[in-house]
């Protein structure tokens, strides 16, 4: 943006140099929205931020129902990944590396106060790896990592990969494994085609993700799981304890892979207490 002229006139003795006369400087433009993180309920005086990272095929809508149950000193920052919601026209990212790089650059201005990272399913791996990346760049880390519905990263995936399957088989495999696609979407083939690129990219990301060993995190980890989640048995959830040299707590709730919809308040209370 071109610099505005200063508005005063001055004669310099012996030289007669004139300077522009005083004018009011234009107001700076409003800050550009951060496309990677949505803050649906801004809290300028917040003393804590919770960063939410969604499951495969999901978006910020996963965490929006939590807002009404959250105290006013907490501000939610919801990850907005390419290829969905307001970024539907952008190509989705199918590899962990480029996704983490985009998130790391975008999140930097938001790390000016204490934070909790919460990730469900795919989002748990994203949150974990993003913390490792940011701490390698000098950040002290969040006050808590909360993982939900996901095995510890060093364990093998109990399901076979299906990101490479043809569309019909791919959708059937997702529904058979997670029961996560609404019937209305399954019934509308044209609408389903709009969501398929992001879904396939997400499952490519998690099916090809490989944990690289590193030191345990110097911060607490809280792990949440469903008692009926066949993908993440309690032992695989408990294995997250190996990835912290601080405290570890595990909480199991009735339900399957998406148990969290019925226990938002309980999970929020645990996170805010750090337990």
Which residues are marked as active site?
121
Asked if residue 96 lies in contact with residue 209, where contact means CB atoms within 8 angstroms, the answer is yes
Q: DSSP secondary structure string, the chain?
A: -PPPPP----PPTTT----PPP-PPPPPPPPPP-TTEE-SS--TT-SEEEEEEPPTT--GGGTGGGGGGS-TTEEEEEE--TTSGGGTTSPPP-SHHHHHHHHHHHHGGG-SS-EEEEEETHHHHHHHHHHHHHHHTT----SEEEEES---TTSPPSS---TTS-HHHHHHHHHHHH--S-HHHHH-HHHHHHHHHHHHHHHHHHHH------PPBSS-EEEEEETT-TTS-HHHHHGGGGGBSS-EEEEEESSSTTGGGG-HHHHHHHHHHT-
147: which residues sit within 8 A by CB, 6+ positions away? 119, 124, 127, 128, 221, 222, 223, 224, 237, 240
CA angle 41, 54, 63 (to 5 degrees): 30
d(CA 62, CA 53): 9
d(CA 36, CA 34): 6
């Amino acid at each position: 943006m071109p610099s505005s002229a200063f508005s005063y006139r001055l004669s310099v003795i012996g030289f007669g140099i004139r300077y522009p006369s005083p004018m009011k400087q234009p107001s700076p433009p409003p800050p550009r929205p951060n496309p990677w993180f949505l803050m649906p309920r801004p809290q300028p005086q917040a003393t804590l931020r919770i960063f939410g990272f969604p499951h495969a095929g999901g978006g910020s809508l996963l965490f929006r129902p939590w807002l009404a149950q959250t105290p006013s000193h907490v501000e939610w920052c919801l990850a907005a990944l390419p290829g969905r919601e307001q970024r539907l026209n952008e190509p989705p990212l199918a590899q962990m590396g480029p996704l983490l790089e985009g998130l790391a650059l975008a999140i930097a201005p938001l790390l000016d106060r204490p934070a909790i990272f919460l990730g469900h399913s795919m989002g748990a791996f994203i949150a974990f790896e993003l913390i490792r990346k940011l701490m390698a760049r000098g950040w002290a880390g969040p006050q808590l990592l909360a993982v939900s519905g996901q095995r510890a990263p060093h364990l093998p995936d109990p399901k076979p990969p299906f990101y490479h399957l043809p569309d019909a088989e791919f959708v059937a495999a997702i529904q058979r494994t997670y029961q996560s696609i609404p019937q209305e979407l399954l019934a509308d083939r044209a609408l389903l085609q709009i969501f398929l690129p992001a879904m396939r990219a997400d499952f490519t990301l998690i099916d090809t993700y490989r944990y690289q060993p590193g030191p345990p995190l110097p911060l607490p980890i809280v792990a949440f799981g469903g008692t009926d989640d066949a993908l993440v048995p309690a032992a695989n959830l408990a294995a997250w304890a190996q990835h912290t040299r601080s405290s570890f707590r595990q909480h199991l709730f009735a339900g399957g892979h998406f148990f969290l919809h019925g226990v938002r308040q309980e999970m929020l209370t645990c996170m805010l207490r750090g337990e």
